[in-house]
Amino acid sequence: MEQPDQEPAEAAEPAVADTPDTPDGTAPDDHGVPAGPRRRRWMAVLTVVALALGGAGYAFADNFAALGAYRFQAPAQFRGMALEPDSPLTLAVRRRAREGAADPSAFGTVHSSEGEHRMVIVQGYERHAFVPSLDESTRAAGDDAEFATAFTERRTVDPGARGGVMECGRLAMDEGLVAGVCFWADGSMTAMYSEVDEFGGPPEVEEVAAHAREMRLLAEVPA
């Protein structure tokens, strides 16, 4: 006697492993930075405050639209280092902006040398202000106890031809590394510049300030 047709049992869906969303296939950390040995350490430390900057001026971004003389456009090369247009940091900033966790104008860029022993990170947001101030970035730095403790020799420096205000200092990192860090604000944006050289000595504050001014001249282009 023929048995009635039976529907075949559904095959169980194969388990799908979590897939990292970083270009090099390494698992991202809390900042969306890949877990490579040096790269992860440098970028996690150097962006802990910069990521906060991306949302600090959100409520004010459109208030003074007529004052935005410049916009940020990272140069393809900077001091012998190439721009990484799809770096994990850049992708993380874009994602945060899309999700509303950061100002829609937030930017984050990475330049690195071959072998990645030298690196420059710039992150911030476009904000048009009558009186440029670093009060918000100062508070952001103070909110992170580890950063605030490790950030030393901070002082006001000449902002250069782009004007505004600029402060620079040195950031002590693990394994003896010291990064140079500058905050700046002008009528168009607020940003943080940071650089590290694994093989170089501790950077002098004025040297870091000169590099930050150089980056501003190249990257702050007419809006």
- pLDDT tens, position by position, 126-154: 877 777 777 766 555 555 666 667 778 98
Instruction: Average the pLDDT over 83-97 and give the result.
Output: 90
Query: Residue 62 class from Cβ within 10 Å (0-12 exposed, 13-18 middle, 19+ buried)?
Result: exposed
Residue type, 180: G
Contacts of 137 (CB under 8 A, 6+ apart): 49, 53, 56, 183, 185, 190, 192
User: Bridge partners of 70?
Assistant: 222
Q: Two tokens at 114?
A: 């071959």
pLDDT of residue 162: 92
Q: What confidence category does residue 207 fall into, taking pLDDT thresholds of 50, 70 and 90? A: very high
Instruction: Average the pLDDT over 95-123 and give the result.
Output: 89
Percent of the chain with pLDDT over 90: 34
Q: Is the per-residue pLDDT at 9 higher than 50? A: no
Percent of the chain with pLDDT over 70: 64
pLDDT of residue 173: 80
Q: Alpha carbon of 108 to those of 7, 12, 134, 153, 161: distances in Å?
A: 54, 42, 18, 25, 22
* pTM score of the predicted model: 0.75
Instruction: Average the pLDDT over 42-58 and give the result.
Output: 53
